[in-house]
Amino acid sequence: MLELLSLTPILKGLIVLALAGVTFPITGVYLFRLNLLPLRFMLMHGAILGGAMALALQINPFWTTIAVNLVLVVFMARSSRSMKIDAGQISTFFMVISISLAFIFIYKFNVPAKDTLTLLWGNLFILSWAEVIGVGSFAVLLAGFQFYFRHQLRALFFDREIAYTSGIDEGKLYYAVVFLVAITVALAMKLIGALLLDAILLLPPVIASFHARSLKGMILGSAMWGGIFSIGGFLLSIAIDIPASSSIAALASVVFIVMYLMRRK
Amino acid sequence: MEHSLVVTRNNITIFTSDQHWLHPLFELEDFLNRNSILPNELFLRDKIAGKAAACLIVFLGIRRCHIELLSERAIPVFKANGIEFTYDTLVDHIQCRTEDLITDAMSIADAYLFLRKRAGRVQGLAVKLVDVRVQIAGTLIVDHLNLDLGRGEQLIVHGANGTGKTTLLRAILGLTPFEGSIRIGDFVVGGADWKKQRSSIAYVHQESMKSNFPISAGEVVQIGLGTSRMSGTETEYRVELAMRRTGCFHLFRQAYSTLSGGEKQRISLARCLCQNAGVFLLDEPTSFLDQQGKEDLLILLDELSRNEAPTMILVSHELQWIEQLNWTSRELKGGILC
């Protein structure tokens, strides 16, 4: 196994997955607490649109999917505020429009649909060093954001109106959270694919919530489980020769079942 | 320069003030508290004293005094409380509106609270609503409503469900758009500085009572500190002080979601105190409380109104309970306060 790690693509995959595994579940906590689960469907479809655009225009799909998701989030946030509609609801509209645009690009630019849909299962082993640095920088940014704004985030997650009345700029904080979620989903899709990103994004906070008594406990628990799933799943995939994303998701699911049964007892 | 107030202990001057009206006596109160001085050993010399000053002197625990110009209305107060007093000149009354406002029905403690509010020595801020209209989805909920609450005053707004009580509170908070003007102290709700000043209003509503968010009681109280940057020690001190004040410090480490309705209300009020807010808006605070919880809340609100004295607006439809609070009560009907 150590011989495999000496191969640059595999080493890069492990580094990125470890960083993502520890930090990305933080946004899973955000998604749960702000009831933004539908938002992640919009972002998944946005990533497919980004992939289709990148292939059609022959530009970098990694950065394009991130850019498309950020644009979608800006539109979603503006419409949610001006139309006074829940962000989760309005994201359904953007989900539909982005997938329709994706197929228009695929059709008009003769993009092979199969290539676009590779985003659904991701590819961990074709990352450039720029992308590795990009993911690493984002992981640091995410952890830093959580640490610096921990008190404000706690208030926001407890009760948005109480956060507002205690002087916290909950509007800006909310949109910062949504932006971070958008980038996380785009990156997680690139790493382990749309179909399995919940294993790294949502299962860690769900398991952490079984025992957490505070936001700190939730964040640390999620980071711990995310790290275990990503690194453990990665090593497992090498050991038994299965796709990394599948082994991560399988490991997360087994741990979830065990923890759930233990909790019931 | 001759001082307006001089206080001596064993013929040694320990306190002087050159302020006017009742302010020297309030300054004396601060001085005594700061230095833990027993007031019964002191001798006080004041330039002028009416009934209001007499009530304050009694409240402070001073036993002996000399007044240069004394109002006859002060004498029954001194006599009833066993104060040894002398004077140079006695007059029928002194030209002071405050003296007229102290009624015989008021106890010394009531008079003290009244005078504190009048002197602006309470946590509360004035609340003034002028011609406020709130429309939601084309329906007029609040219709040209006017309200003027002084510092540290309390008001109960009652009315049937759906009359707009919560909407009124949300307008005061700046959460619901409105026409007209709402002022909290010196600030206009929704004005240029409002973002920085909105923590002057603390809000207790029922949604947070249902929260299953993993958070400890102490952390909920800490939310009141908002964006203030302070050391860990200072933060702990502020949280502990607020929790002790509302009798819930023993719940500090407990998960909020496991607390009873009454305990959650104590935590909410501790959060408001921690926020150091001048106005408390309480929306149906009895909703999730059993009989004991309601009685505890009654006592706590009464204590708050006497000590920190924030300006409080409480919205409720439980007439039987609100009657016991003995606060001014007005019904919201047809969009206006009756």
pLDDT, residue A246, reads: 84
Where do the domains of chain A lie? 2-264
- Over residues B23-29, mean pLDDT: 90
> Given B118, B152, B176, which residue is the final one in a domain?
B118
pLDDT at A146 over 90: yes
CATH number of the domain at B21, please: 3.40.140.30
Alpha carbon distance A55, A200 (integer Å): 26
CATH number of the domain at B159, please: 3.40.50.300
pLDDT, residue B87, reads: 92
What band does B95 get if pLDDT is binned at 50, 70 and 90? Answer: confident
The nearest alpha carbon in chain B to A33 belongs to: B213
Question: Cβ separation of B214 and A212 shorter than 8 Å?
Answer: yes
Q: Which of A151, A152, A217 lies closest to B214 in CB terms?
A: A217
Alpha helix positions (H), chain A = 2-5, 8-23, 25-33, 37-57, 61-83, 87-108, 113-117, 129-148, 150-158, 160-165, 170-192, 197-201, 203-209, 215-240, 244-264
- Summarised one tens digit per residue, pLDDT across range B166-175 is 999 999 998 8
- Over residues B259-287, mean pLDDT: 88
pLDDT at B222 over 90: yes
Same domain (yes/no): B248, B326: yes
- Over residues A50-75, mean pLDDT: 87
Question: Cβ separation of B173 and A165 shorter than 8 Å?
Answer: yes
Question: Cβ separation of B173 and A164 shorter than 8 Å?
Answer: yes
Distance (Å) from the alpha carbon of B276 to chain A's nearest alpha carbon: 10
Q: Which of B196, B203, B219 lies closest to A165 in CB terms?
A: B203
Alpha carbon distance B258, B252 (integer Å): 12
Question: Cβ separation of B215 and A215 shorter than 8 Å?
Answer: yes
Alpha carbon distance A44, A56 (integer Å): 18
- Summarised one tens digit per residue, pLDDT across range A191-240 is 777 767 788 888 999 999 888 888 888 999 999 999 999 999 988 888 88
pLDDT, residue B58, reads: 93
- Over residues A136-158, mean pLDDT: 93
> Given B58, B91, B118, which residue is the final one in a domain?
B118
- Over residues B233-253, mean pLDDT: 89
- Summarised one tens digit per residue, pLDDT across range A92-126 is 888 899 989 988 988 888 888 777 777 666 777 77
Same domain (yes/no): B56, B158: no
Q: Which of B211, B222, B226 lies closest to A168 in CB terms?
A: B226
Number of domains in chain B: 2
- Summarised one tens digit per residue, pLDDT across range B280-312 is 999 888 887 788 888 888 888 888 887 788 899
Residues of A within 8 A of B269 (CB-CB) are none
At the topology level, CATH places domain A2-264 in: ABC transporter involved in vitamin B12 uptake, BtuC (1.10.3470)
pLDDT, residue A128, reads: 83
Same domain (yes/no): B136, B27: no
pLDDT, residue B130, reads: 92
This complex has an ipTM of 0.76
Residues of A within 8 A of B271 (CB-CB) are 162, 166
pLDDT at B53 over 80: yes
B131-140, B168-177, B202-211: segment of lowest average pLDDT:
B202-211
pLDDT, residue B293, reads: 80
- Over residues A79-89, mean pLDDT: 78
Q: Which residues pair with B158 in a beta bridge?
A: B316, B331
Question: Cβ separation of A167 and B216 shorter than 8 Å?
Answer: no
Q: In what order do the strands lie in the sheet with B12-17?
A: B12-17, B5-9, B42-49, B64-71, B84-91
Mean per-residue pLDDT of chain B:
87
Residues of A within 8 A of B265 (CB-CB) are none
What band does A25 get if pLDDT is binned at 50, 70 and 90? Answer: very high
pLDDT at B217 over 80: yes
Q: Which of A157, A158, A166 lies closest to B226 in CB terms?
A: A166
Alpha carbon distance A195, A207 (integer Å): 19
Percent of chain B's residues with pLDDT above 70: 99
Q: Which domain does B63 fall in, by range?
A: 5-118
